[in-house]
Amino acid sequence: METDSKNRRLEIGGTSLRVRTPLGNPFDVALGSCEVSCHFPGMPNPMNRSFFTAILLVGWLSASLHSSKADPRPGSPLFRFGAVADCQYCEKTSGKRKYNLSPKKLTACVEHYNKLELSFVVHLGDFIDRDFESFDKVVPIYNRLKAPHYHVLGNHDFEVADDKKALVPAKLGLKERYYDFTRKGWRFIAIDGNDVSLYAWPKNDPRTKAASEYHKSLNPRPARWNGAVGDEQLKWIEAKLQAAAKAKERVMLFCHFPVYPKNGHNLWNDNALTSLLARYPCVAAYVNGHNHAGNYGQRDGIHYLTLKGMVDTEESSYSIIEVYPDRLVVKGFGRETNRDLPLSKRP
């Protein structure tokens, strides 16, 4: 048996079957119209022709589906994933931040995601606004996701009592405060921008004192509710970038805090991180939350994307990011912006 995926022709001995189908995903074959032409030497009976046509069509469909999974057709994404920022729930409300509406918004988002084939979903920090008990309201909703789902730690996630701060990562299902995972030639690196901060550790913790001294040394002095990536984590990030470069993987980083363009929400040591990323051509994008208005910039061939906060206004905000060999397509829902982000050629 021979198949020609371009012309959709299948030959078995002296019998040939040619099927013309609409372009699209493999399921379009079953849903679209087909034109079939067959020749069966020595079989004048129309019933026989119909019978063998059906058999050959089933065989061709099976081969087509198999080849489509192994090698996606041009124009189809390699995979897609969901990305949400700043659910930021608590039982309060304000003029702009509708904290108490976040469970309703998150439920609708999860229900939408569950109707799609997503490789994973990531929430980019500030899952709650305050109070450890707030996690009990929104964590079960997020855990209804069918796709694998991840969290990035945000500053508001640590707006809890000192004796609860150490429990926050585990409450969100995290074994580590920063980590990485891979999907189809991509490495995703989730980092912790609260590593050096004035709020993520108890007041009497040496790390809080060290962060206070570091914060005082900065000029101009940045916002107290931002943080920094520590030296140990920077070394870990570079090791992951080296591993990705060796494996010829593209890289996308997730963080709660932006690093570019310059903004009052940025990490305290944003320059250290952007300088590091610029040295590795494998880095394609950095995606974050924290600045609820959203933002975008490109530098050193890297897309720096800030997603809008779900918590703001009565309208929700979340996205689906489609990953293609040559671009990223951000499909925004609610207040989130649609974007088409070209990728440079692999190094």
Residue 233: inside a domain:
yes
70-85 confidence digits (pLDDT tens): 334 458 999 999 999 9
Note whether 289 and 234 are same-domain residues.
Answer: yes
Nearest 5°: phi and psi at 153?
Answer: -80, 135
Q: Which of 70, 102, 124 is the last residue of a domain?
A: 70
Q: Of 312, 323, 282, 322, nearest to 300 (Cα)?
A: 282
Q: Confirm whether 180 is domain-assigned.
A: yes
Tell me the average pLDDT across 106-123.
98
* Domain end marker among 32, 50, 70: 70
**Widest Cα–Cα separation across the chain:** 91
Please give the order of strands across the beta sheet that includes 2-4: 2-4, 9-12, 15-20, 35-39
Is the residue at 287 inside a domain? yes
Q: Is the pLDDT of residue 314 over 80?
A: yes
Binned at pLDDT 50, 70 and 90, residue 345 comes out as confident
Spatial neighbors of 161 by CB under 8 A, at least 6 apart, are 132
**Are 296 and 314 within 8 A, CB to CB?**
no
Domain assignment present for 347: no
pLDDT at residue 262 in the model: 96
pLDDT in tens, 185-214: 999 999 999 999 999 999 999 999 999 999
List pLDDT tens digits, range 7-54: 333 333 343 333 333 333 333 333 333 333 333 344 445 444 454 444
Are residues 197 and 227 both part of a single domain? yes
Residues 104, 60 share a domain: no
Q: Do the Cβ atoms of 279 and 287 come closer than 8 Å?
A: no
Looking at per-residue confidence, does 165 or 94 come out higher?
165
Range of the domain at 90: 79-342
For residue 192, how far is the Cα from the chain centroid?
A: 16
51 shares its domain with 111: no
The three-class DSSP label of residue 95 is: coil
Q: Give residue 74's pLDDT.
A: 57
Instruction: Clarify whether residues 244 and 271 are in a common domain.
Output: yes
**pLDDT of amino acid 12:** 36
Please state the domain count of the chain.
2
Residue 71 contacts residue 309 (beta carbons within 8 Å): no
Query: Within this chain, do residues 17 and 118 fall inside the same structural domain, yes or no?
Result: no
CATH number for the domain harbouring residue 274: 3.60.21.10
Segment 278-306 shows an average pLDDT of: 98
How many other CB atoms are there within 10 angstroms of residue 312's CB atom?
20
Identify which of 125, 126, 139, 133 has the alpha carbon closest to the alpha carbon of residue 173: 139
Identify whether residues 141 and 203 lie together within a single domain: yes
Encode pLDDT of 217-272 as tens digits. 999 999 999 999 999 999 999 999 999 999 999 999 999 999 999 999 999 999 99
Q: Say what the alpha-carbon torsion angle 127, 165, 295, 233 is, to the nearest 10 degrees.
A: -130
Question: Does any domain span residue 161?
Answer: yes
Mean pLDDT of 56-79: 53
217 and 93: one domain?
A: yes
- The Cα 62–Cα 56 span in angstroms is 10
Residues of the chain with pLDDT > 90: what percent? 76
Q: Is 280 within the bounds of a domain?
A: yes
pLDDT band at 89 (very low <50, low <70, confident <90, very high): very high
Shared domain check, 123 and 44: no
Residue 344 has pLDDT above 70, yes or no: yes
Q: Do 154 and 292 belong together in one domain?
A: yes
The domain boundary, picked from 70, 90, 114, lies at: 70
- Does residue 118 share a domain with residue 199? yes
Identify whether 144 is part of a domain: yes
My answer on whether 64 and 128 are in the same domain is no
- Evaluate whether 154 touches 125 at the Cβ level (below 8 Å): yes
pTM of the model: 0.80
% of the chain with per-residue pLDDT over 70: 78
- Tracing tokens 């897309």 back to the chain, one arrives at 303
